[in-house]
Structure 1
Amino acid sequence: MIYPIVAYGHPVLRKVAEDITPDYPGLQELIDNMWKTMYASNGVGLAAPQINRSIRLFVVDSLQILENLEEDEKKEYPDDKGVKQVFINARIINAAGDEWSYNEGCLSIPRIREDVYRPEEVTIRYVDENFQPHEQTFNGVTARVIFHEYDHIDGKLFIDYLKPIKRRMIKSKLDDITKGKINVDYKMTFNK
């Protein structure tokens, strides 16, 4: 099943999501459908709040970004091998390295892309889809995607990192998204 993506303006995107247990109803089916939804929407990550579930779950496939980079661009991320991974009940342990800019977008905020500064590296503690615990450090584009999806489970959006003047410049576009005045090639849910 492909879920509709929750659009900017919906309150679920501003909630701090709840941890889940291994007996969360239909968890494996939910994860499978999140992958399907993410790929159908041409995303590289998807968090449960984006499908109207306020739980600490997100999926990331940074492999597809790295595979599509030009050879000279790949040199910018020599240690980033990419991942296709499920993150449940994640907690960031550490963020390190210099902050660097990358033009981010979000399935919940379509047609808006802005440069966002984030640290080079993230260390995160989480459980996988089998509830096996992990603590890993990621860098480069993979860290970037993890930071972005992690923000979703903490009720934050990439636009929160923009300077006030930039936020004012995109306000009418954000208002249009909130009102459902946008066309995208994937299903969306609006808070009208």
Structure 2
Amino acid sequence: MKRPIILHPDPRLKKTSDPVTDLSDDLRDLADEMLSTMYDAPGIGLAAPQVGVLTRLIVLDCVKADDEPPRPLIMFNPEIVAASDTLNTYEEGCLSIPDQFADVTRPAEVDVRWIDRDGNEQREGMDGLWATCVQHEIDHLDGKLFIDYLKPLKRQLITRKMQKLKRERARA
């Protein structure tokens, strides 16, 4: 089942998500629905707050090449345990802020720990687009959006565009 994606500005996108303490079938179903929603959007990452659930859960798949098999990752309670001093700048976008993009600088490499859908602890080093995406999605769990990294004027401009988009969609 595809879930509706919340658009900025929305107070739920600014809240800190609760840790997963019991990995239930409902949470596994939510993760599967989030993957389906993300692929349909289309996007490369989605956090539970973006579908209105304040739980520490993200999904991502940064494989873009058609000749490579998809690599969907479901992460419960993801956390960055180490980050490189080297930085990368990527043009980021967000499914909750459609059609708006901006350069964001983040650590180029991160070491991430999480619980998978079977309840097993996983740990992986990520770089490039994967590192950027996982940091972007974990930010969502802490109530932070990519536009929070921008200068106030640019952030306000994007927020005004989003308010206009929400008004237009409400009228349709």
**TM-score normalised to structure 2 length:** 0.89
Deviation digits for residues 98-125 of structure 1 (CA, Å, limit 9, x no counterpart): 2221111100011111111111011111
CA contact (8 A) 1:7 1:109 kept: yes
Q: How far 1:160 sits from its partner (Å)?
A: 0.5
Partner SS, residue 89 of structure 1 = strand
Of 83, 90, 102, the match for 2:90: 102
Residue type at the aligned position of 2:101: R
Matches within 5 A, 1:137-152: 137-152=125-140
Give the distance between the partners of 2:24 and 2:18, measured in 1 at CA: 12
Q: Displacement, 1:27?
A: 1.8
Q: Aligned partners of 1:63 and 1:174: how far apart in 2?
A: 28
Aligned to 2:19: 19
Q: Structure 1 stretches of 5 or more lacking a match?
A: 69-81, 184-189
1:116 corresponds to 2:97? no
Tell me if the contact between 1:2 and 1:34 (Cα under 8 Å) persists in the aligned partners: yes
In structure 1, how many angstroms separate the alpha carbons of the residues matched to 2:168 and 2:24? 34
How far 1:166 sits from its partner (Å)?
Answer: 2.2
Return the alpha-carbon distance in structure 1 between the equivalents of residues 39 and 130 of structure 2: 17
Match of residue 162 from structure 2? 174
Are the structure 2 counterparts of residues 7 and 168 from structure 1 closer, same or farther at C-alpha, using a change threshold of 3 Å? closer
Count of matched residue pairs: 167
Which is bigger in relative contact order (C-alpha 8 A, separation at least 6)? 1
Cα distance change, pair 23–121 in 1 and its aligned pair in 2 (3 A) = closer
* 1:6-47 C-alpha deviation (Å, 9 max, x unpaired): 110211111110111334351221111111111111011111
Which letter does structure 2 place at the counterpart of 1:7?
A: L
Change (3 A) 1:168 1:23: closer
Unaligned runs of 5+ in 2: none
Q: What SS does the aligned partner of 1:62 have?
A: coil
State the Cα RMSD in Å.
Answer: 1.9
Match of 2:153 in 1: 165
Aligned residues of 2:75 and 2:117 also touching (Cα < 8 A): yes
